[in-house]
Structure 1
Amino acid sequence: MKNRRLEIRLTEDELYEIDNRSKKLRMSRSKFLLQAALHQKIIVLDSTSIKQLTSELRKIGININQIAILCNMGKLECVHIEDTKSEITKVWEELNKLRKDVKKLNNEN
């Protein structure tokens, strides 16, 4: 017997989207929300990894800005950015792997 009630706040657009999805599936709003809440896999990303990637990207950005400043000041004639390119490639590969992992998890639902 269903004897508990749950109240949530949402925008008109969110309610409209919920109603559209539930109608497409020919479900009541209540049944649709229960199915979505109880049968969806929730993906939790490791925030430490994301923070590390963000930090690395920030450091690379700082390095690029420093190089640009030196170039604009005329203190650098030839810029060797192979190390920077290598680091950007590493970060890109990690982000791409993360994207693929999340996509794979979402497809398992």
Structure 2
Amino acid sequence: MRRRNTTIAIRCTEEESRRIHELADRHGLRLNDFIMRCALGKKIVVANGIDEIVRQQKAIGRNLNQIATLANMDRLTAVNFQPLLDEHRKFTELIGRLLREVK
């Protein structure tokens, strides 16, 4: 585990401080993490909509689980999985694109 045990203090104007805090908030990062990423030249990506994608993936997973349970109970004889698999594939590709962008 990485330990941050060194402090770097900087001076800035009230306006600069306000802007830095505002940017950190806009990126959804704590001030320390935002400043570290900026100072080390790391790319900062805001992934708007990721919560909706994850929610959709979870819903599809629940549906697949329910179908598998019914099939195991012999309560289903034939199921057309294609629409569900197509939706799952679409959201999986979206997540993959976002992850590649973040790296």
TM-score bracket for this pair, using the shorter chain length: 0.5 to 0.7
The higher radius of gyration belongs to 1
> Which is richer in helix?
1
Count of residues in correspondence between the two structures: 77
Structure 1 stretches of 4+ with a deviation exceeding 3 A read none
Higher relative contact order (CA 8 A, sep 6+): 1
TM-score normalised per structure 2:
0.58
Distance in 1 separating the partners of 2:79 and 2:50: 30
- Normalised TM-score (structure 1): 0.55
Task: Determine if contact 2:71/2:77 at 8 Å carries over to the other structure.
Answer: yes
CA–CA distance in 2 between the matches of 1:100 and 1:41? Answer: 14
Amino acid at match of 2:92: W
Q: In the TM superposition, what are the counterparts of 1:22-61 in structure 2 within 5 Å?
A: 38-46=39-47, 48-61=48-61
Question: Is there any run of 5+ residues in structure 1 with no aligned partner, and where?
Answer: 1-12, 19-29, 104-109
Identity value in percent: 30
Structure 2 residues without counterparts, runs of 5 or longer: 9-35
